[in-house]
Chain A
Amino acid sequence: MFDPNKVISKRCADIKPSGIRKFFDLLETMPDVVSLTVGQPDFVTPWNIREAAIESIEKGKTYYTSNSGTQKLREALSDYLTSFDLHYEPKGEIIVTCGGSEAVDVAIRALVDDGDEVIVHSPNFVCYEPLVSLCGGKCVTIETVAEENFKVTPEKLRAAITPKTKLLVLSYPNNPTGAIMERADLEALADVLRDTDICVLSDEIYAELTYGGKHVSIASLPGMRERTVVVSGFSKAFAMTGWRLGYACAPSEIAGQILKIHQYAIMCASTASQFAGIEALTNGLAAKDEMVREYDRRRKIVVNELNNIGLKCYVPKGAFYVFPDITVSGLSSDAFAEKLLFEHKACVVPGTAFGSCGEGFVRISYAYSVEHIKEGISRIGAMMRSL
């Protein structure tokens, strides 16, 4: 008798299924819940961007593009990235991918071998570790803490480095904490890395959602460009999650390797999405700025509301999440989220979904209207009062 379990690759079987899935499935069966869980913009992609994709389809532009994406989009990206002091050649250094997620995957696959160690920080978005383990690599976790504004410090980085360390993954602005790394923070890490052979994968998908200052990329610091892969995408900045459009930028030696994997696995990003991307970068920046302003206003509202109900909260400087400390409730993150869901019909993501050091925290998304945010937090307040 054929046993499917016997044919599954060991590396795949070893990946733990995401625990939060069950919670989300449950949430979907409860329509009267005020959810603050969603990790994507509530804005619709601006119309001019949608229209550019429609026009490309109407004109019959239904072909594969070159593997690395259309020349025009890569040129637009190259121009756009200069606003972050990043300088990449459209030809050979920029690869357009199916979302930032694919860019992370192909970058890790291009860099990580059996036995390599990859340093990741936590709490964090959950894709890095499974992708590293598929390559036979092993993740070494740096736990970031609220007292240090959820930053990776040079001391912690130094302590995590071993002779096997191949790669450091940085994802700032961070999901779920909303933390950012400022120039001085990154310079301190760069000082640690400069004399090593360690590469950096910098996931900057939330770069545009940085409040009260401009995002700094570690690749813009001296001596860092040659060892860094910058990945980002259109999802968060331009409200384009469903388009699956991202990119990886790296020096040509690394980019060439990434391109090989992308070419065999994906061929090229969706052509209509690429036309939308060109429009986003050429005529969509004002709409992007307006969305960022709106997120910033909600960010202030959400922090204020949380403080009003007695939840301590690191003031996030990026992304669209807050990560309040809920230990005052006396509940674990999971118990807090469950009680809130069942008894008060509101929903947040337990911090443990982002790594064990997320215990004691929950993630609240403010990719919602102000009214919705206030209603959700007032339900959390009702629960806090009932404890």
Chain B
Amino acid sequence: MNKELLEIIEKNARLTNEDIAVMLSKEEGDIKKMITEYEKDGIILGYKALIDWDKTDSEHVNALIELRVSPQPDRGFDKLAEKIGNYPEVTSLYLMSGGYDFMVLLEGKTMREIAYFVAQKLAPLDTVITTATHFVLRKYKDKGVTYGPAYVDERSNCL
């Protein structure tokens, strides 16, 4: 496995195969082959843009839901995770150590939409014991990228 290749595209998925080939001193065809293989093996799962929706006129609300659940005898947490993960509103889902079991990240258009989703879809699930909903007030940083004013190159020119 080429760890450097994965690190490079994890930081910038828009580089072309040719760019990556030049950076790693390899052939473009080799890069294409490796990436296809990593996609097939599920090592690379997707390529997405980071969008600061607050800078648009589109409404986006994010929330973090803590779920406490009782694990099922046969499949532990996996069965429930699969079920929760199926909802398109769920953007991330993690099994956690500590005071609760699942952390569910939700995205919706309004707070009401999210509240309804928790009340109507998550809370009634058989094994869910409690839910606690936290709304995101402001996103400062996500996936290693700082949200805020666009980058302005303020470096001065000197030789």
Q: Which residues of A contact B (CB under 8 A)?
A: 18, 20, 24, 27-28, 35, 37-40, 42, 125-126, 175-176, 297, 300-301, 304, 349, 353-354, 370-371, 374
Contacts and interface: CB of A to CB of B under 8 A. Distances in A.
Contact of B157 (A37, A42, A304, A354): A37
Nearest to B15: A370
Interface string B142-159: 000000000001011111
From B14, B25, B158, name the one whose CB has the most chain A CB atoms within 10 angstroms: B158
A24 B33 CA distance: 45
B110 interface: no
Given A300-B25, A370-B15, A126 B159 contact: yes
A46 B4 CA distance: 21
B22 A40 contact: no
From B25, B153, B155, B156, name the one whose CB has the most chain A CB atoms within 10 angstroms: B155
Nearest to B16: A374
21 contacts: A18-B159, A24-B157, A28-B157, A38-B153, A39-B157, A39-B159, A40-B155, A40-B158, A42-B153, A125-B159, A126-B159, A297-B23, A297-B24, A300-B22, A301-B19, A301-B22, A301-B23, A370-B12, A370-B15, A371-B14, A374-B19
A24 B155 CA distance: 12
A304 B159 contact: no
Nearest to B12: A370
Interface of B: 8, 12, 14-15, 19, 22-25, 153, 155-159
Given A300-B22, A304-B22, A27 B12 contact: no
A349 B156 CA distance: 14
Given A304-B22, A370-B12, A175 B159 contact: yes
A126 B158 CA distance: 10
A304 B23 CA distance: 10
A39 B156 CA distance: 9
Chief secondary structure at chain B's binding surface: loop
Nearest to B8: A297
A375 to B, nearest CB: 13
B157 A370 contact: no
B158 A39 contact: yes
A269 B155 CA distance: 22
Contacts of A370: 12, 15, 19
A33 to B, nearest CB: 11
From B8, B14, B19, B157, name the one whose CB has the most chain A CB atoms within 10 angstroms: B157
A38 B23 contact: no
B159 A38 contact: no
A24 B22 CA distance: 31
Contacts of B24: 297
Contacts, number: 42
B157 A27 contact: yes
A20 B158 CA distance: 9
Nearest to A368: B153
Contacts of B8: 297
Contacts of B156: 38
B26 to A, nearest CB: 11
B155 A38 contact: yes
A20 B159 CA distance: 9
A371 B12 CA distance: 10
A370 B18 CA distance: 12
Contacts of A297: 8, 23-24
Contacts of A354: 159
Contacts of B12: 370
B159 A353 contact: yes
B22 to A, nearest CB: 4
Contacts of B25: 300
A317 B126 CA distance: 64
A38 B156 CA distance: 7
A309 B158 CA distance: 27
Contact of A300 (B23, B153, B157, B159): B23
Contacts of A126: 159
A113 B24 CA distance: 50
Nearest 3 interchain pairs by C-beta = A297-B23, A24-B157, A304-B22
A42 B155 contact: yes
Contacts of B15: 370
A208 to B, nearest CB: 19
B52 to A, nearest CB: 18
A18 B157 CA distance: 13
Given A40-B158, A126-B159, A297-B23, 6 more contacts: A18-B159, A39-B157, A42-B155, A125-B159, A370-B12, A374-B19
A300 B19 CA distance: 9
A28 to B, nearest CB: 7
Contacts of B19: 301, 370, 374
A354 B158 CA distance: 12
B119 to A, nearest CB: 41
B22 A349 contact: no
Contacts of B157: 24, 27-28, 35, 37-39
